[in-house]
Amino acid sequence: MFRVEKVIDGKGQTLIQDPPIARFFFQSTITAWLWLAVRLYVGYDFIDAGWHKFNTAAWMDGSGQGIIGFWKNAVAIPAAPAKPLITFDWYRGFLLFMIDTNSAGWFSYVIVFGELAVGIGLILGAFVGLAAAGGLLMNMAFLLAGTTSTNPVLVMLGFLLILAWKNAGYIGLDYFLLPMLGTPWWKPGKAPAKAPPLRTPVAATR
């Protein structure tokens, strides 16, 4: 299950093969059903968050009131012994820059439509790897600002969906979209191209 092998390809290069358990979770179409469940869970969370913001004037009127209060609270440095919400000074500097340049208005739209796009992409299975990466970026932004909520769980699931980008959207639009990027083994009626010949494994570890 966890056996890792090294093989030599036709050009004499050493290739380290994924163990069977990794191939099962991140390449098999059988586990696409598992990733469908993960996609629906994470996608619904983003759709719900984005739709709520979309229907809230503070997020959609261009004032930035939906996010500016969160930013100001995050960058505040409380009196000792309390610790600030933001650990990294570079991220506090980034939020201060956004506040000083009055960027809350347009950035609110980025968050709202970004969350909706991630949710739609995951639920429909369209470019799952990219959608999961976008969601991961937003979750990490909230975590860096000191907000936990469901973000740690969504970060973990986002990482897994990125790793499973090849088969996570197999039950979805990626079944049709990924062949456009050079993955012909997904295209109905097409067989995968033959891989370069491999010689006998030269080493194996557990």
- pLDDT tens column, 86-132: 999 999 999 999 999 999 999 999 999 999 999 999 999 999 999 99
Residue 99 is assigned to a structural domain of this protein: yes
Residue 111 is assigned to a structural domain of this protein: yes
**CA dist., res. 139 & res. 89, Å (int):** 19
What is the DSSP code (8-state) at residue 204? E
- 144-177: per-residue pLDDT in tens? 999 988 999 999 999 999 999 999 999 999 999 9
How many Cβ atoms are within 10 Å of 169's Cβ, its own excluded?
A: 30
At residue 2 the predicted structure's pLDDT band, cuts being 50, 70 and 90, is: low
Q: Which amino acid is at 73?
A: N
Residue 6 is assigned to a structural domain of this protein: no
The total number of structural domains that make up the chain? 1
* Among 177, 68, 145, residue whose Cα is nearest residue 137: 145
8 A C-beta contact, residue 94 and residue 75: no
What is the pLDDT, as a whole number, of residue 183?
63
Residue 170 is assigned to a structural domain of this protein: yes
* Among 198, 187, 177, 168, residue whose Cα is nearest residue 34: 168
- Cβ neighbors of 49 (< 8 A, separation 6 or more) are 115, 119
What is the pLDDT, as a whole number, of residue 203?
47
Tell me the residue range of the domain where 91 lies: 34-191
What integer best gives the mean pLDDT of the chain? 88
8 A C-beta contact, residue 136 and residue 74: no
Lowest mean pLDDT among 8-17, 40-49, 136-145, 193-202: 193-202
Residue 196 is assigned to a structural domain of this protein: no
Residue 100 is assigned to a structural domain of this protein: yes
Residue 13 is assigned to a structural domain of this protein: no
What is the pLDDT, as a whole number, of residue 8?
78
Residue 168 is assigned to a structural domain of this protein: yes
* Among 48, 96, 49, residue whose Cα is nearest residue 68: 96
